[in-house]
Amino acid sequence: MRNILGAIHIHSNYSSDGKNSLIELKRFFMDENIHFICLSDHIEDLESARYKRLIEECRIHSDDKFIIFPGVEIEGKCLLIIGIDNLEDFEKFKNNDFTNQKKYFTVLAHPHKLSRRKLGELTRGNNKIFPEAIEVLNIKYDGRHLSSPAGIREFLRNKNRIKPIFGLDLHEIKDFVGMLVSIKDPEFSYKGIISALKNGNYQIVAEGKEFHIPEIVPLAFYIRLYFFHTVNLFLSLVNRFVKKIGIKIPEKIKRKLKKAI
């Protein structure tokens, strides 16, 4: 039985704040033995012609060993919609029409940005939007800013219909942390992987180990989560400082520090 690994919430240079091209992302993630990535480029940065090029480029750089899924982040709704390979559907989402949302893998991102009422409405599908997963950790934000673990709380309340997921929110390769999803023996195809994600047939993985959220979240778990936040914040500040004074920390050391966390 084969396990395949994937990274969720990746920004390419199709986003205004994304640094890496698709081919750079492919080379990097293949070197990390990761088999697919799910893009979530900012819908605000994309028009139809540009998204059409993104779909085409994703197809060019996908093969029987690695797949790039095009997708968007809709910041106003804190949503990632992954796998949009149809220009007409993209245009509908761009115009706030979510009638075809169920065709794709939908993740509730940045839950700490939403009020409890709004978060509850989205997880229950009250707005006719039905996310299949929620970010219990967003590496860019939760790793650098102390915020309440709203994603974990909401997952535990709705675990019968929503799955937890790690969002890398990666804008630059150097910020990679090995918080991934693992799918057991899927059909290695565009439809096969999207289907597995939509049906929750995956496990979240932290640096190669399956990560399980306790049914009743103990105090120790929250302490561990906030420790992760605090250390990442500290490392981020140190990185900015050494950059400012012109010292370059070798990537291998950075990676070891991230793994140690």
At residue 76, the pLDDT reads 84
In CATH, what number does 3-216 get? 3.20.20.140
Phi, psi of 107 (to 5 degrees): -120, 135
Beta pairing, strands 133-138 & 105-108: parallel
Confidence at residue 143, expressed as pLDDT on a 0 to 100 scale = 57
User: pLDDT over 70 for what percent of the chain?
Assistant: 83
Distance of alpha carbon 38 from alpha carbon 11, whole angstroms = 9
Range 169-198 average pLDDT: 92
Q: Please, which residues have CB within 8 angstroms of residue 15's CB and are 6 or more apart in sequence?
A: 41, 42, 45, 171
| Residue 158, burial from CB neighbour count under 10 angstroms (0-12, 13-18, 19+) | middle
Task: Please report, for the chain, the start and end positions of each structural domain, with discontinuous segments joined by +.
Answer: 3-216
pLDDT digits over 246-258, tens only?
777 676 666 666 5
Q: Is the pLDDT of residue 114 over 90?
A: no
Whole-number pLDDT of residue 52: 98
Instruction: Check pLDDT > 80 for residue 153.
Output: no
In b/e form, how buried is each residue of 129-138, taking b as 16+ CB within 10 angstroms? bebbbbbbbb
Which pLDDT belongs to residue 204?
A: 94
Predicted local confidence at residue 117, as pLDDT: 81
The yes-or-no verdict on residue 121 having pLDDT over 90 is: no
Gap between the Cα atoms of 230 and 238, Å rounded: 12
Provide the pLDDT for residue 146: 44
The token duo for 100 is 């075809």
pLDDT band (50, 70, 90) for residue 83: very high
Q: What are the φ/ψ torsions at residue 6 (nearest 5 degrees)?
A: -140, 155
Q: Which helix (H) or strand (E) holds 222?
A: helix 219-244
Asked if pLDDT for residue 185 goes beyond 70, the answer is: yes
Residue 24 · residue 61 · CB < 8 Å: no
**Among the ranges given (57-66, 77-86, 119-128, 204-213), the one the predictor scored with the smallest mean pLDDT:** 119-128
pLDDT tens digit sequence for 22-72: 999 999 999 999 999 999 999 999 999 999 999 999 999 999 999 999 999
Q: Which of 37, 42, 38 is nearest to 15 (CA)?
A: 42
Instruction: Please indicate whether residue 157 or residue 198 has the higher confidence score (pLDDT).
Output: 198
